[in-house]
Structure 1
Amino acid sequence: MKSVLVIDAPPMLREFLKEKLSAEKIDVEIADAQRDALPKFLSLLPDLVIINIEQSVGEVIEFLEKKQSDPNGKKIPIIMTGPQIEHYEITELVQYGVIKYFTKPIKFDIFFDSVGRVLHQPFSFDTTPCVLDLHLNQDIIFVEIAMGLNREKITLLKYKLSEMIDNNKLVVPKIILMMSDLSLSYVDGLNLELLLDNITADRRVLRRNIKILSFDTFVRDFIDGHPVYEGVKVVKELSSVLNSLVEGNATSSVQELITDKILSVSAGADLGSVDLHFSADNGNSGEKDQIDAEKLKIAIVDMDLTVVKFLRDTVEALGDVSIFLSAKEFVSKVRPNQFDLVITGMYMPEVTGLDLLKYLIDQKIDLPVIVYSNVVQKEVIMQTLKLGASSYLVKPQPAEVIVQKALEVINAKRQP
């Protein structure tokens, strides 16, 4: 039986790795670098070591050096996950047997593909197209699912929910599961059960505090006729549900709640070590290396001069910034390999942000695009993602969120 030693993984990552690897009949051992990693490593001599670092390689350097000094252990490969680090640091890790370094948030389809290659064991991985996002407002967690039900993302959701509940100290969390874009049938019954079982896996989530927004007859009949999910309510509109869930009058209107919180990052939200978006969603790889900021070329496309100035000031430290005051001007000038990233608005005269995305597809220009807009209609947002946008950020966003998202999508695109 093949074995993997996981070192210093945070709870959410650790539990997901254990579940996924154990399902593939792989023995998993967990260790702490400062306490028991080396003894476990020497006694187990695993087929692979997975190491997580939170801030710097220095956290595990003692283990790495002792591993390499052992004649039986030095050839055992290592896959590491962690923050962005300097290119020379990644190069130096090779001497310790590190074969892959994944920058967080991890794209797990690529991650497990690498693990499978090391272990000479292909992993089963659900590739069903699926958009799954979580957003928090007060004690309400909005879970939005579109396109389909992907079992890998549903499994990750269980850990992501618990992490969000823990981080925000939610005593009585309330869940609104938004599935208005899904049309399901009896063949989706097992996946729907998996979804609800994972949402209720945390004992703090009570079934009476779960509301499902769906227009689908199958979903309503499935929930209504399933004794395990008694208390879960399926609704066709959110207003009455939100008014009953929001305590007091902290939110001035239901529309404000939906606009501000469902489609934007919550203040203080953990941008996380685990991402619910896989590389298969947009063709980007999850293996990340450090990028050279001085070589980045970023295009900003927007007719609002205030927005343009804010975005330019935000990202100019990353490299050269080119300004286009209309999408029409941009598409008339853009060439393959000209930019590393585009940040664009949505509604502009003659040529819109959607038209810009379609143009890039038609011209086969593979270019990461972040849409930064105050448009909050779900149909528009879903269409931009289907047309290949790497991310959709609803105005306004803090500068640090924009920078982090820019680095994330650029790093993802640059890896083979």
Structure 2
Amino acid sequence: MKKILVIDDSSLFRTFMKTQLEEYGFEVIEGINGLDGLTKMRNQLPDLIIMEYYLSRKGALELLKAKKMNPNTKGIPVVIACNDINREKIVSVANYNVKKFLAKPIKIDLLLQTVSETLNVKIAVDDTPCSLDAHLNDKILFIEIAKGFNREKISLLKYKIAELLKLHKIASPRILILLTDITYRDEDQSKLETLLQSISETVTSHDNIKILTVSEKIREVLSGNLYYRDIEVVKSLEKAIDGLLGKRGLEEMTAEKSNVHESLLSSAVDDNANSTVHLNFQDESRLGGDFASGEKKYRIAAVDDDIIVQALIRKTFDGYDWPVTTFGDGRDFLKDFHADDFDLIFLDLMMPDVNGFAVLKFLKENDVEIPVIVLSALSRKESVMKALDFGIKSYMIKPLKPEGLIAKTKEILTAMF
């Protein structure tokens, strides 16, 4: 059995890695910081080390130098995960048997591919096309799955939920599961049960969970399930929100209420598009660290033709003294674009001239890794679902609130996945 040492200050990340990799037959050893990782590396001699670049007690470079000096550990391959990969970091570890850098947020399929290639073992990954996103909008935790059920992506969900609830300090969430553009197969039953199990663990009662779908097959499967048949399945967004928030709940959530549920239920996604997963992990050791202290000035681009939205974003981040550059449309943004100019982009999809989709296409074709948060009205759900295939990190529903912008930015900029 191959042994993998995972060194990271975040217990949530280590727990995920242990659970995920053990499913594929690996023995996983946890290092809670750089010093602990070095000790376990020397004592247990793993076949592979997966480590965060920023570690407490002993930094990555110090650990790698100590590893190289020991003839027993010198040859162990290393994979490094890091939020901000640059040439300087890559060059600094070039002589320490580092096989690969994985950019955070990490893509689970790339992680498993890297482990497979490095250890020369085969890992059978579920390749079911699937777009999955979990986000908190005001008072409701939305969990959206499109195309199909993917085992690896569903297994990540409970960690994302834990991250969001901790970040927003929510003890008992109200959860809406949207299965509005999904193909259900008989072999998906176990995946659906895993999904519901992860969600049910976070609520005090199934009354706080609603499922929005038009699939009679999903409704039939759930009605026959002893554990989950009391979860209400609805076809109308208005009914789901009413059930979770009470009457007028939907009116409080969005200013654009016309044809909302029709837009959600008619979401059209290209079946041949590359699937992406939009799930984050929180690095507990640095949560609220340089983000709140002002040690780093994150540079933000706000691309929206609404000057009120531009002003709101600019004012929101004035308190952090972060520079916000505003653009009226995609053409203005792309005219003198340089990838090093920004750390985060807020992007409206519906703009005159060059819209948000053209911007997303440009960023994807040029391998630009800047996190993008899409701004959208709830009634434009179809557009949001299409945007997911461009690898956006998350999206926010208009109208926007300053506290929501801060929470979402914190979530994205401190993400591990």
With the length of structure 1 as denominator, give the TM-score of the two structures: 0.69
Distance 1:181 1:283, change over 3 A: closer
Partners in 2 of 1:307 and 1:100 — Cα distance? 40
Cα offsets for 1:305-358 (capped at 9, x unmatched): 6667888999xx999x896x666x679x989xx764997644445x56277479
Match of 1:379 among 382, 401, 416: 382
Match of 2:251 among 238, 250, 255: 255
- Which residue of the partner structure matches residue 281 of structure 1? 275
**1:281 offset after TM fit, Å?**
3.3
Q: Are 1:108 and 2:111 counterparts?
A: no
Paired-residue identity, %: 30
Partners in 2 of 1:163 and 1:220 — Cα distance? 29
- Which residue of the partner structure matches residue 161 of structure 1? 161
Partners in 1 of 2:97 and 2:306 — Cα distance? 50
- Which residue of the partner structure matches residue 8 of structure 1? 8
**1:371 offset after TM fit, Å?**
7.4
Cα offsets for 1:343-377 (capped at 9, x unmatched): 7644445x56277479969xx88778957544332
Cα offsets for 1:280-306 (capped at 9, x unmatched): 53699xxxxxxxxxxxxx998654566
Cα offsets for 1:169-197 (capped at 9, x unmatched): 44333322111222424343232222223
Partners in 2 of 1:368 and 1:34 — Cα distance? 27
Distance 1:149 1:403, change over 3 A: same
**1:140 offset after TM fit, Å?**
3.7
Contact map agreement 2:16 2:156 (CA 8 A) in 1: yes
Matches within 5 A, 1:211-250: 211-246=210-245
Contact map agreement 1:146 1:181 (CA 8 A) in 2: yes
Contact map agreement 1:207 1:230 (CA 8 A) in 2: no
Partners in 1 of 2:38 and 2:373 — Cα distance? 46
Q: What letter is aligned with 1:93? A: V
221-230 or 137-146: which moved more? 137-146
- Which residue of the partner structure matches residue 355 of structure 2? 353
Instruction: Give the number of equivalent residue pairs.
Output: 369
**1:160 offset after TM fit, Å?**
1.8
Matches within 5 A, 1:45-124: 45-54=45-54, 59-84=59-84, 87-124=87-124
The alignment's C-alpha RMSD in Å is 4.6
Q: 5+ unaligned residues in a row in structure 2: which ranges?
A: 257-272, 279-299
Q: 5+ unaligned residues in a row in structure 1: which ranges?
A: 261-278, 285-297
- Which residue of the partner structure matches residue 177 of structure 1? 177
14-23 or 213-222: which moved more? 14-23
393-402 or 120-129: which moved more? 393-402
1:133 partner SS: strand
- Which residue of the partner structure matches residue 264 of structure 1? none
- Which residue of the partner structure matches residue 260 of structure 2? none
Partners in 1 of 2:360 and 2:37 — Cα distance? 50
Q: What letter is aligned with 2:275? A: D
- Which residue of the partner structure matches residue 294 of structure 2? none
With the length of structure 2 as denominator, give the TM-score of the two structures: 0.69
Cα offsets for 1:108-163 (capped at 9, x unmatched): 21122112111111322223222211222566422111222111110000222233
Matches within 5 A, 1:303-314: 303-304=305-306
